[in-house]
Structures are given as C-alpha cells and as structure tokens.
Structure 1
Amino acid sequence: MATSSNGQVFGKRKEQHIVILASGDRIRHMTIRPWMVTLTVCFLGTMAIGYLGATTYLVLRDNLIGATMARQARMQHEYEDRIAALRAQVDRVTSRQLLDQQVVEDKVEKLLEQQMALTSRHGRIGALLQGADTTGSLPSDGPVPADKPMIDSNDQAALPNSTQAFAALLSEPKMAPGSDASRKPVLALGYVPMTGENVADRADRLFSHMTLSLKEIEAEQLQRIEELASGASQTADEIAAILKRQGVPVDEQASLPVADAVGGPYLAPQSDRDFNASLNALDAALTRLETVRDTAKRLPFANPAPGRDITSRFGNRPDPFFGGLAMHAGIDFRAPTGTEIRSTGSGKVVTAGFSGGYGNMVEIDHGFGLSTRYGHMSRILVSEGDTVEPGQILGLSGSTGRSTGPHLHYEVRRNGAPVDPMRFLNAGMKLTPLIN
C-alpha cells in the first residue's frame, strides 16, 4: 500500500524499453533508456541540418560564381567597346595630325623660300654697298646699317629659323601658373592636342604673322634701296654740276654698264623683278657717283697751303718791281720759308725744276686740260714723271725767281690759259662734304 501510495504521490516512472535481439539460440536484450533516444534524435537532426546547409551553400555558390562571371563578361565587353572607340578616335586624330603636319610643312617650305630670297637679296645688297663703301661711293647722308636682322625681337616667333618656328608652332599654349594645364608635359613633335586650338589654326595665325613680317622686311629693303639710289643720284648731280661750272666735262655714259642684247615675250612684272630693277638702279647710281667722285678727287680743288692767308689774288695788280699794272695769273699764299706745299689734286708731274720768274716750280697735269703750277719753292721734293695724289708734299716754300719774299705762287690753267684758282678753291669747299 505504501508503494502504491508513493507512486501516486510522485507519479509513475517512465518505463524503460527493452529491445530483445534473438539470433538462433543466442538471445540478447538491450535496454533503451530515454536519454539515449534523445541523444540519437539530436544527432540525426544535426546531421540533417548540416546536410541541408551544405547543399544550400553549394547551390548558392554556383549562383554567385555564375553572376560574377556574367558581370566580368559584361565588363570585358564594355572595355573592348571602349578600346575600339579609343582606337577609332586615335585613328581620326592621327589622320588629322598628318594632314595638319603636311600643311605646316608646306607653309614652312614656302616661308623658307621667302627667307632664302630675302637673305639672298640682303647678301647682294651687302656686297654692293660694301664695295661702294670701300671705294667711298656711299652718300654721306645715308649711312648703311651694318647688319639689320630679318625680324625684330618682338617677332622672334616669326622665323629666323625654320626649326624654331616649327617647334613654336607645335608647342603647348602658355597657361596660367598653378593651373592643371600648366602641369602637362611638353608636347613632342607629331603630337596634336585633343582639345583646344589645333595645329592648322595655330599655323594659319603664326604663318600669317611671319608672312606679314617678311613682306615688311621686303618693303623696307626696297625703300632703303630707293633712298640710297636717290641719295647717290642727288650727290652725283651736285658734284657733276660743280664740275661743269668749272668747265670739267663728266662722261657719265662711260660709267654705265654696257647693256647686253636681251629680248623675250612681255610678261607682267613680279616683285623679285621689281627688286632687281631697284637694285640695278642703285648699282647704276652708285657707279655714277663713284665716277664723278673719282673725277672730282683728281682735279685741283684742294688748298696747296692749308691754313695760310692769301696775300694777292688773281687778276690785274700793281707790279711789285715796275709799279705799273700787270696781270697776276694766280694767287699768292703767305708761307714762310720751309712751309710744306701740297698737291691740290692727283696727276703727273710734268715740270720739276727752275723755270724763269717762277723760280723753282712744279707743274702737275691733272687731265681734262687742267694743270697747276707751284712757284718760288726753296726745295723741290718730286721729280718729272712722278704720279702724285691729293695732299702729297711737292716741296717747301721759298723766295726763288721773281719774288719779293717767301711765299707760294699758285696757278690753275685750263688748256694752257690761266683761270682764277679761287673758283676751284670755293668749289672744293662745296665738294668736300660730298666726296669725303
């Protein structure tokens, strides 16, 4: 009763399950307790959950891999399309750059031809003027610059050198300091910027500026040639007019170059031919100027006793020995004994010795029918047949011959007849700035 009572009070215990295993005569039994059942169920559940989780992971991983591969394929196609577009753009840029470069090279070649033409002209002008300057044929009022640059300092991009011009053309435009564009590398030859002003447009601007500069230089050359030719002609006219007033003929036609036989169909003049015509005119003017200057330098226009006073002029005067009027065929200079007497022009000594009333005399033939006589010398320093130049010392003053004291008697004769030497001295003062 107590046991029954306890069982009712505390409840019935769970019955244990006994598993009986029989195999032939062998009988085995296994008692299955509740905790064993619980443990088995938990293990099987864990295994089932692990299996389901592994299956789900594998399925999801395949999906993820497929999505990733599809995304990569799309990215690859996009990159390939982008690369193809960039290649097409590069081809277009390369084609445009080749065309622009060809245009630039053609314009550089044209400018080089113009520059070579101007350089050749400058060399011809320099050689002509150097030769004229060496012979003293340049006008005194028209100095020639030693070397005028082709282009001034403000137009240095304009082409003293085709390489510099081409490099300047292909260089990047200057940017403000600190900007992103200012940090770009210097462009190499053959690269054309993708944005902004292209090479062709910049070439048009640059070459227009250079062409204008070259045309200005050409105009300056022509203007300078015309000024020199005009100045040379004017100076030659002035010298020739003075010589003609003194009765000296100037054979200007003999100084002109002999014209060769020429011919051909008529064509419209070109600028280069205009330049050649101007240069020929300048050459003719300088040749004419050289001729008249050489003529003037040969003739007796200088002073035989520089700085000495004139004591007696040309014409009738009282004779110092007889008192009556007598013709004085020259002019007398006050010159103490030993004063140097100089030739008034170039020529040949025809007399050098004692000659009657002249005393010790030197006579020089200057050509063109003109001769000069230097009398009363104390000493003669030249001999007959000598060739003398203007300013050369002929002898020393004295008082030999028909003389009352030391002085220089100076005569100028035309075709043997005496003429007033003052005309030649005055003409010489006018000629000095024109021939020196």
Structure 2
Amino acid sequence: MRSPAPWSAPAGPPAARDRSPAPRRADVRPLFPALAETSEVYLDSASTTQKPRPVIEAVHRYHSTRTANAGRGTYPWATALTRDLEGVREHTARFLGAAPDEVVFTAGATAGLNAVALAWGLAALGDGDEILYSPRDHASNVYPWWQLRTTLARFGRHIRLVPYRVTALGEADVDDIAAKLTPRTRLITVAHLHHVFGALSTLEELRGRIDPGVLLCFDCSQSGGHLPVRVTELGADFAVLSAHKMFGAPGTGVLYCRRRVHDQLTAFLPGGNSGVAPAESGLAPRAMPARLEGGTPDIAGILALGAALDFLDEAGLDTVAAHNRALTERLVSGLRPLPGLEFLPGPAHAPCDNGYGIVSFTLDGIGSTDLGFVLAEFGFLVRTGAHCVPPRGGPAGQAAADDDSVRVSTHLYNTADEIDRFVRCVATIATEVR
C-alpha cells in the first residue's frame, strides 16, 4: 500500500470535509520535491510554479493504476474516472464562483483564449465590429485577436482591434477604454493580473459605463492560484486559467464561459466525443461544456488540477496573497535605493504598498539577459527578456529597447531570506557595473 504523503488533501469533495488547519509557511516548502533537491532560489513562478507532492502523485497515480479513458467506457475504471473529472469540474466551479456547466477544460490559457476567438468570434462578429485589447498584454491575449481579424477578413468580414493604454501603475487605463467604447464594441479583453507589471485590473471603475451587451474577457493566468478569482464579481463573460501557474501540470487549463454567452458559442473541435451530434441538417451543437471539449481530455492534467485546487484550499488563497504581498513589498523596498535600477510599471509606482508577487526592473550598465545569466551563476533563477509581450506597432512592429527586463516572481514556497539575499546580490552587481 502506498504510504501517505507528509501532507496531502483528504479524500472527498472540499465542501464536505472537516477542514484541517492551513499549514504554516515553514511546513510548505518540504512539500515541493524539486526545491528540496537544489540550493538555487526559484523566482520564476509567473512562468510556471513548482509542483507540490500531491499534484505529482495525482499524475503518477493515473498512469500507474487503472489507466483508462473517461466519458466513453462503461466498465468501473472508466466510469470512476468520469466521476473524478466531473468532481474536478465542480471543484473548479466553486473555486471561481461559477456553475459546473460554465467550466470548460482546455489545453491551457492560450488554448482557452483561442477557443473564445474561434467558438465565439468566428460566429458572432460582424463586419465593423470592434474588440478592445491591450498590446502590452501577454501574446496569448493579443495574437488570437490578430489571427481572428485576419481569418474573418478572408471571408469579407472586417473587424477592428482597438488598442487601449496601460497606466504608469501597470493597470488597464479605464478612462482610455471608456473613451474608445463605441456602439460597435463587442468585447473588452484584459489581463486580470499583468504578467510583467504585476498590476491588478478589474474594470470595476467601468461598471455602469459599459453597454450590457459588451462582453468582458479576463486573462487570469497570473491571478489564478495567487489571489481569489470570483468571475461573478469581475462581471466576466469569459475567463481563462493556466493550471501550470497554479501548482498544476502543464498542458491543462480552464475556460470559464458565462451562461449568457452559451447560445453564441459554436463547436470548434468536431470529432470523437466532441461538442456536436449528427442532425438532419448536418451537425448540431451539444450542451455546454461538452460543446467546446472535443477529443480525449488531458485526464492526468485535470486530475492534477484537482490536487492543486485541494492544495490551494488547504493553504488558503488569502494566505498566499498576503505572503506574496509581503515579499513584493520587501523586494521593492530593498531594490529601490540601488543606483541605476529602474522599475517597470507596477507595485513600485503605487501610492501605497501592494503587490502580487511580480516585480520587473532594468539595471543600467548591463542588459537584462546578461544580468539574468549572472544572477543564475549566483543561484537566483529569474525570467529575462520581453516576457512574451508582442512587438510594439502591431504584427510588423519591432520590440522596443525598454521591453527587455528582469522579472522576479514569487510564490508560497519563497522566503524573506531569499528576497534579502537576492537584493544583496543585485546590489553587488549594480556597484560593479557602475
């Protein structure tokens, strides 16, 4: 019999469990095997998080015991898996404050945003319709709309992509968005937590200023697993999550589709067990969420997502958010006095202390890529470069010089001591390069 993990979520749906106390911060780090095997300091959680033991075991358990397909066979292995996956769907719905039929499993946040473009955009947008977006968002929240515009143009429908600005704090500029709304605006898409700037955008200031028919799409890749995400409070019609950024496995994601948009969605992955069924006139769409879930699901990844949600339930999202905020404030205050260091938009420019675990900066005298190599030599693992932000000026544009930066991103397993050591290392480099 397999020995229980040092700390793993008890069986059964979260709502029915006796809640055990959240583990103390000092008890969390040993649950991440990769961190126990290295002395390096991992500061790239915005790219992908380390995986706790319960998530690793969920993947291993599926591949090593009673491996089967879900939603097809009638024998016990298959039916048990089908129930397990629906249990994860229900858990995800509770996590977001949604209904189970509003939760679609995808191959990741990129796949989720492309699903919106294909399942909604191709069918619902007409000639002259407009989408408001930020060119400074992650490419996964920019390129699908560029591609949609190109695809529709081939069939004689020309849509407009209207860019809006980002403030000095790194947030979506709601005044600029409001000024660019027109009767042809159909969708506003925004990064809930920006992947470079670490700034939160909720569009709350636009409540009552947007026509109810305008749909809202939130990229929650960075906020999911870092702070509470409640789609109803956001007023979201679409929202995407990336499992590998919230302790889950890569290749798995979530697309939230509000019920009011279900009738506007068409199946875009027809095939085995897909979202369509034979009809007299060809193919008829099935009910949601099956309509958008063609093909064999990533069973191991979805089970891992369930384990990750259990882990986050036990740790507490408020605890995670408070921990990342404390580390962010410590990092900003430590880096601020360093000569030649300049912060990108984000928490360093906020009028009060805040932060969600993401800080980006440049340092005079050394390029960010070279700085990243030097930091890695000293054992600090950070992300450098343009961070998947598209080139300025659209598809034919070029990356600007200030698009190259160092990004530090933390999570529950990072410590104040690691931040202090990192600041001292950057301070030494700053002195040497001057």
State TM-score, norm by structure 1: 0.21
Considering Cα pairs closer than 8 Å and 6+ residues apart, tell me whether 1 or 2 has the greater RCO. Answer: 2
Larger Rg: 1
Which structure: greater helix fraction?
1
State TM-score, norm by structure 2: 0.21
